[in-house]
Amino acid sequence: MSTVRNPWPRRVIGLVFAAVVFAADQGLKGWLVNGLQLREKGVIDLLPIFDFRFTQNPGVSLGLFTAGSPEGRWALVAMTAAIAGFVFIWLLREKRLFEIVALGGVLGGALGNIRDRFTLGYVVDYADLHFGEWRPFLIFNLADVAITLGVLFILARSLLSRDKPEDVAVDPAPES
């Protein structure tokens, strides 16, 4: 006889992780922009391959869907909020901790970027990884990292998972 485990403690972990990602993203952006005056300085050199560089991103990932008008801004807020709502519902329906935590990262990151777009009209990006003039990524932020890692973890789990559904019935061999 198998026991059914209550998935809610794991879901709470995912929601707490989402809140931590959101708070860390917003806190780091606030510290960089207001504390270190990154907006005014433009660039703070840290390492030969990594800088803090203030960037206003009016679009979504990879600069796609740039909002060039107030209507475009609010359309992006609505679109990303709908996606965040979908992720929230998925998190509440998921049972496995690994996926719940990954979804929590996606949700927390999405909410951090939505808050920026809602309050500022753009997303604050600042992390600049570069090798000379070559940048393997556009300038990004902690929310982007959480979203990307969460999506990659979910994709990897679904591609590498060898779990077989328990409720699949096997037809007996036909009789001759």
CB within 8 A of 59, min separation 6: which ones?
65, 66, 67, 76
CA distance 75 to 70: 9
Check residue 65 and give left, alpha or beta (phi > 0: left; psi -120 to 50: alpha).
left
The residue among 112, 124, 118, 109 whose CA lies nearest residue 39 is 124
The residue among 57, 24, 21, 56 whose CA lies nearest residue 38 is 56
Q: What is the DSSP string of 68-120?
A: -SHHHHHHHHHHHHHHHHHHHHHHHH---HHHHHHHHHHHHHHHHHHHHHHHH
Catalytically active residues are 125, 144
Would you say the C-alpha torsion 146, 122, 111, 154 has a positive or negative sign?
A: negative
